[in-house]
Amino acid sequence: MTIVQEISQRHARFLHLNAQGLLRYPQGTPQKEHVLSCIQKMGVLQIDTINVVARSPYLVLWSRLGQYQPEFLRDLLVETRLFEFWAHEASFLPIEDFAHFRHQMLDPAHLGWRFNHRWLNEQSENIRKVLKKISESGPMRSKDFERRNDGNSGWWDWKPEKKSLEVLLTTGQLMVRDRDQFQRVYDLTSRVLPEWSDENNPYSPKDSEAYLLSKSVAALGICCADWVPDYFRMRLKHINLQAFLKAQADAGNFIPVRIEGDHRQFYVHQEFSELLHNPPPLSNALKATRILSPFDPAVWDRRRAKELFEFDYKLECYTPENKRRYGYFCLPILRDGQMIARMDAKAHRQHKIFEVKSLHLESGIRQSAAMFSDVNKKIQEMASWHDCNSIRYGADVPSGFQLADISC
């Protein structure tokens, strides 16, 4: 009879945060290769355009790399070392995974609301014109389709073209070649990846489902079955998840474990076997303070964040202002393996002021000089990375977080 190891919740958090790259910064000044390695480790970098602070993909990388150059992300896209597609929402993905996502492009029906069936069927002429225009004119942004026909026909509304661009991206006929002021620049897939051939894809749809499931387990570090499909927002068509997890465990690729106080079966990727069986002292290993994006993989699955970190989190930018409890774009604060607070912030870039509008500690978090120091240091680093040279505090910020010297 196989004896399943039982671990503490703190150990489980360590395995997850380690797998996510949230416990150690790279040595030296972060370079472009660090950015690529970070995305490969996570497997996916979700894109979001809200920019009250740095846009989410840049912030997710900052949480793991520290003071890196955001331009590296665009460079990697232009160099075709990354590509964009639907994974956990719109995402940057390592180019080596293109073959595994290609099946979804060629059969996008299972993408649900992200694929506009009706538009594809009813706007075939519009789609044909957009594709022809890019084929003849080269890479284009959606706003390049906006033009004025002087006086006679009025304005040509570019919005239908934008929808067609998104459908063509989803069906894999177009790719994102570049980002111009964070706006997508679309080009033909055949020009972005001239060597690619669908006929020569070495992976079947079932192969790719298995690959992405395994990659999810590795990126999570530790997981139960309920957490796995959400990582890449998978709708499994070829694999039974429970049977897959058991087979991988039987093969030694996943290690079955229990978390103290939780009746569910969990799995640890064999890559982390040593950290499972012989972990370092957790009091030292978990010593890290990070400010996270709401779309960070550590918290984007709100149920997982609640179950693993006891962190009940909701992004309130979509909530009417008078019903918000914590603020428009609250950033989770991680310290020593706990989600200790949430901070609503705004970078006033033109005036070089970083505003901490509110900061709310989680229930039961013990206040201490060390905790104030760790979080204050991270706020200063964040302000500096935003090229802000001073910090402004709102009324809903505990006094321990309001620095006497607010210059960065």
Residue 3 has pLDDT above 80, yes or no: no
Compute the average pLDDT of residues 46-55. Answer: 96
What's the pLDDT score for residue 145?
Answer: 85
What SS3 class is residue 316?
coil
What's the pLDDT score for residue 160?
Answer: 86
What SS3 class is residue 237?
coil
What's the pLDDT score for residue 394?
Answer: 94
CB atoms within 10 A of CB 47: 20
What's the pLDDT score for residue 123?
Answer: 85
Residue 381 CB contacts under 8 Å (≥ 6 apart), including other chains: 66, 67
What's the pLDDT score for residue 171?
Answer: 93
Cβ pair 15, 9 in contact under 8 A: no
Burial 100-113 (b: 16+ CB within 10 A, else e): bbbbbbeebeebee
pLDDT above 70: percentage of residues in the chain = 94
Domains parsed from the chain with CATH numbers: 9-112+204-280 (no CATH), 116-170+173-200 (1.10.10), 314-408 (3.40.630)
pLDDT digits (tens, 9 = 90+) for 165-213: 999 999 999 999 999 999 999 999 999 999 999 999 999 999 999 999 9
Q: List Cα–Cα distances, 210 to 94, 147, 243, 297, in angstroms.
A: 17, 46, 11, 20
pLDDT digits (tens, 9 = 90+) for 73-86: 999 999 999 999 99
Q: List Cα–Cα distances, 376 to 127, 284, 371, 372, 393, in angstroms.
A: 51, 20, 8, 6, 12
Compute the average pLDDT of residues 388-401. Answer: 93
Residue 64 has pLDDT above 60, yes or no: yes
Does the pTM of the predicted model rise above 0.75? yes
Residue 99 has pLDDT above 80, yes or no: yes
Confidence of residue 116 (pLDDT cuts 50, 70, 90): confident
What's the pLDDT score for residue 250?
Answer: 96
pLDDT digits (tens, 9 = 90+) for 278-306: 999 999 999 999 999 999 999 999 999 99
What's the pLDDT score for residue 124?
Answer: 85
Residue 156 has pLDDT above 70, yes or no: no
Round to whole Å and give the CA distance between 184 and 336.
38
Instruction: Report how far Cα 264 is from the mean position of its chain's Cα atoms.
Output: 26
What's the pLDDT score for residue 39?
Answer: 98
| Beta-strand relationship, 289-291 and 89-94 | unpaired
Confidence of residue 1 (pLDDT cuts 50, 70, 90): very low
Per-chain mean pLDDT for the chain: 93
- Which residues lie across from 269 on neighbouring strands? 254
